[in-house]
A and B are shown apart, each in its own frame.
Chain A
Amino acid sequence: MLITALFCYIIAGKVLSGYREARKNKLYQNLEDAFLVMMVENDPAPIKKILDSIRSRDLESFIEFVSVYLTNLKGDDFDKIVDVIYRSHLFKYLCDSTVSSDIDLKLYSIYCLGLIKKPAGIDNLLAALDDPNIFVRMAAVASIAQTGCLEALERVLESLSKEKLVTSYKLSEMLWFFGEEICPPLLAELKKRDEKIIKIDEEDLLTAAVIDMLGHYKYFEAAEEIHSILKETRRNTIIKSCVDSLGKMVYSDAADDIIRNLDSPDSEVRVSAVKAVLELRADDQTGKLKQMLNDLDWNVRYNAALALHEMNFDFPSYMFSPELAGQELSRAFRTIVHVLTEKSAAMQENN
C-alpha cells in the first residue's frame, strides 16, 4: 500500500513537472515570436495580447525570459519592450510582488523592476530596502542603482551603511550600477563627513567604497577632498582607497603622502602605494621599489616588480649586479624571474 502510494506520488510529481516545463516552453515560444514581431515589424498587437493573458503564476517565467532582452538591448527596441510591459497589468504585478511571501518571486520582481528602469517602480524598491532578508535588500539596492535614480542615493547609502555582512567589493559593485553620474553626489557626501554615511575614523567599508568609486571614474574634482582625508585618517581601509583613487586620478599634489605609504605597516596599503607610484610615474622611487622586491609580502614584491618593469627598469643588469650576485634564491631574484617570465609568456601569446 505504502509502495503504491509512493509510486503514485513520484509519477504525479513527474507529470506535474513535465506539464510545468511544457507550459514554460510554450510561453517562451509565444513571447519570443510576439516580441520579434513587435521589434522587427513594428506591430505590438500580438505581444499585448500575450502579456494580457499572463497571470501571476507565470510571472517568474516571464521575467526570466524578458530579462534576456532587457540586459542585452538598448535603444528603440529596449524602449519598445519596456513600454509595452509598463502599459500592461504586469508592471503592477511586478510592483506588488516586491512584498510577496514567495522569496524567489520577490527577488525576480525586484530584479526586473531594476532592468525596466521606470521611476514608477522606485517606491516599491525603496520599501524593499527595509526587508528583513539581506538578499532582498541587496537586490533592491542594485535595482534602484540600475534605474539611475540619484534622488534615491542618500536613502541607498543610509541603508548600505547599516549592512554588516556586505564586502567592500559588493558595495562598490552596487554603487557602480548607478553609473558615472553618481560622482557629484558622492563627492557631496564625502564633503559632509556626517559620521552617518562617511566615517573616516573607522575601518568603514562604505566610506572606502565611495572613495573607490570616485577613483574608478577618475573624478578629478574629488581629488583634493580625498587627499585631505588621506592626511587625516589613521584607518588602513580608508588610506588604501585614498591612495588607490589618487593614483588613478594621477593627482601629483598627493605624491608625498602616497610615497610615505610605501612604508605602511599594512601590506595592502603598500600594494596600493606601489600602484599609485607607477600611475604618477614617480621614477625617483625606483630605489625604494627595488628595496620592496624583498618585501615579506608576496603581493607587494610582485607589484613592485611589475611597476619597475613598466618603468623600463633594466632588470637583466640588476640581476647580475653585485647587489644580487649569488642571491638566486632571494625573494627579489625570484620575483623578478617570475614577472619577466610572465611578461614574456604574455608577449608570446599575443604574437
Chain B
Amino acid sequence: MSKKVFVCEDESAIAKLIKLRLGADGIKDVTIFDNGEKLLAHFNTELPDLLLLDVMIPGVDGITVLKTIKGDERTRGVKVVMLTALSKEADIVKCLDMGADDYITKPFSPAELASRVKKILR
C-alpha cells in the first residue's frame, strides 16, 4: 500500500520540489499545505503516514502544530519530520523532546530529505 505524506511548507517552490522529489522516489501520495491551520483542519478528515513540517510557517507555527499532533491520541502515531533552520539548535532539541521522529536542517538537500523520509516510512 502506498504511503501518504503531508508537507507543510509556506514556500510553494520548495514544497513543489519536495513533492516531485518524493514522487520520483516512489512516494506519490503527497499533499501540500501552506499553513498550520489548514493542516490541522485536514487532520480531522485524513491522517498521513508522515508529516514533513516546517518550523517557520505563517499563523500557527510548526512547534505548536507538533505539540497539537503529539498531544492528541488520535494523531499521536503520525510520524513527524521537522524542517528547521540550522542556527536554531534550541528548536531542534525542543522538537525532538516533543516527539518529532527526525529533523532536517535548512538549507537541505532534497535527495537526502527523500532518503530520510523513505527510511522512516519503511
Which chain B residues have a beta carbon within 8 Å of chain A's beta carbons?
11, 13-14, 16-17, 20-21, 24, 97, 106-112
Q: Is A73 an interface residue (CB 8 A)?
A: yes
Chain B minimum-CB-distance residue to A69? B13
Expressed in whole angstroms, the minimum distance between the Cβ of A107 and any Cβ of chain B is 21
Known A-B contacts: A73-B108, A77-B110. Give 18 more (CB < 8 A).
Answer: A35-B13, A36-B17, A39-B17, A39-B21, A40-B24, A65-B13, A68-B11, A69-B13, A69-B17, A72-B11, A73-B14, A73-B17, A73-B107, A74-B108, A74-B109, A75-B110, A76-B109, A77-B109
Q: Is A350 an interface residue (CB 8 A)?
A: yes
A75 CA to B104 CA, complexed, in Å: 13
Given contacts A68-B11, A74-B109, A77-B111, contact A350 B16 (CB under 8 A): no
Expressed in whole angstroms, the minimum distance between the Cβ of A235 and any Cβ of chain B is 29
Chain A minimum-CB-distance residue to B98? A350
Contacting pair A68 B107 (CB below 8 A) = no
A72 CA to B14 CA, complexed, in Å: 8
Q: Contacting A72 at CB < 8 Å: which of B21, B107, B112? A: B107
Contacting pair A78 B107 (CB below 8 A) = yes
Chain A: how many interface residues by the 8 Å CB criterion? 17
Contacting pair B111 A32 (CB below 8 A) = no
Expressed in whole angstroms, the minimum distance between the Cβ of A18 and any Cβ of chain B is 21
Q: Is A330 an interface residue (CB 8 A)?
A: no
What residues of chain A lie closer than 8 Å to B13, measured between beta carbons?
A: 32, 35, 65, 68-69
Chain A minimum-CB-distance residue to B87? A176
What residues of chain B lie closer than 8 Å to A39, measured between beta carbons?
A: 17, 20-21, 110
Chain A minimum-CB-distance residue to B20? A40
Which chain A residues have a beta carbon within 8 Å of chain B's beta carbons?
32, 35-36, 39-40, 65, 68-69, 71-78, 350
What residues of chain B lie closer than 8 Å to A69, measured between beta carbons?
A: 13-14, 17
What residues of chain A lie closer than 8 Å to B112, measured between beta carbons?
A: 75
What residues of chain A lie closer than 8 Å to B110, measured between beta carbons?
A: 39, 73, 75, 77
What residues of chain B lie closer than 8 Å to A76, measured between beta carbons?
A: 109, 111
Listed by A's residue number, 30 A-B pairs whose Cβ atoms lie within 8 Å are A32-B13, A35-B13, A36-B16, A36-B17, A36-B20, A39-B17, A39-B20, A39-B110, A40-B17, A40-B20, A65-B13, A68-B11, A69-B14, A69-B17, A71-B106, A71-B107, A72-B11, A72-B106, A72-B107, A72-B108, A73-B109, A75-B108, A75-B110, A75-B112, A76-B109, A77-B17, A77-B109, A78-B107, A78-B109, A350-B97
What residues of chain B lie closer than 8 Å to A77, measured between beta carbons?
A: 17, 109-111
Chain A minimum-CB-distance residue to B9? A72
What residues of chain B lie closer than 8 Å to A40, measured between beta carbons?
A: 17, 20-21, 24
Chain B minimum-CB-distance residue to A74? B107
Expressed in whole angstroms, the minimum distance between the Cβ of B68 and any Cβ of chain A is 14
What residues of chain B lie closer than 8 Å to A350, measured between beta carbons?
A: 97
Chain B minimum-CB-distance residue to A40? B20
What residues of chain A lie closer than 8 Å to B109, measured between beta carbons?
A: 73-78
Contacting pair B21 A68 (CB below 8 A) = no
What residues of chain B lie closer than 8 Å to A68, measured between beta carbons?
A: 11, 13-14
Chain B minimum-CB-distance residue to A37? B20
Chain A minimum-CB-distance residue to B14? A72
Which A-B residue pairs are the 6 nearest by beta carbons? A75-B109, A74-B107, A40-B20, A68-B13, A72-B14, A68-B11
A35 CA to B16 CA, complexed, in Å: 11
What residues of chain A lie closer than 8 Å to B107, measured between beta carbons?
A: 71-74, 78
What residues of chain B lie closer than 8 Å to A78, measured between beta carbons?
A: 107, 109
A78 CA to B106 CA, complexed, in Å: 12
A73 CA to B17 CA, complexed, in Å: 10
A69 CA to B108 CA, complexed, in Å: 10
Expressed in whole angstroms, the minimum distance between the Cβ of B116 and any Cβ of chain A is 13
A71 CA to B108 CA, complexed, in Å: 9
